Amino acid sequence: MDGFLSWWDGVELWLSGLDFVLQTLVVMPVVLALAYGSALLLDAVLGNTIRVSNRITTAVRGGQRADGDGE
């Protein structure tokens, strides 16, 4: 863990020494990749949660559809 923290301190010092525009060019791809990855993860988790919730609701209602048609 000390090795990682030492590396992180070095990266932080290097990044803080850059000009603002260069900092932005270095940081934004990382931030955008993390945001995209977390959006994909949340989409998958929420999609599966909704799918399971719909299955449970259908099972509790005895196979009837939400609009009351039954088939």
Q: Give a yes or no: residue 59 inside a domain.
A: yes
Q: Which pLDDT tens digit goes with each residue over 39-70?
A: 999 999 999 999 999 999 998 888 666 565 55
Q: Give a yes or no: residue 40 inside a domain.
A: yes
Q: Residue 5: what residue type?
A: L
Q: Give a yes or no: residue 25 inside a domain.
A: yes
Q: Give a yes or no: residue 7 inside a domain.
A: no
pLDDT at 61: 87
Total tally of structural domains belonging to the chain: 1
User: What residues make up the domain containing 29?
Assistant: 19-64
pLDDT bin (cut points 50, 70, 90) of residue 71 is: low
**SS3 string of 4-61?**
HHHHHHHHHHHHHCCCHHHHHHHHHHHHHHHHHHHHHHHHHHHHHHHHHHHHHHHHHC
Q: Give a yes or no: residue 47 inside a domain.
A: yes
58 vs 52: CA distance, rounded Å:
10
Q: Which pLDDT tens digit goes with each residue over 23-47?
A: 999 999 999 999 999 999 999 999 9
Closest CA to 66 of 53, 20, 44, 5: 53
Q: Give a yes or no: residue 2 inside a domain.
A: no
Question: pTM for the whole thing?
Answer: 0.63
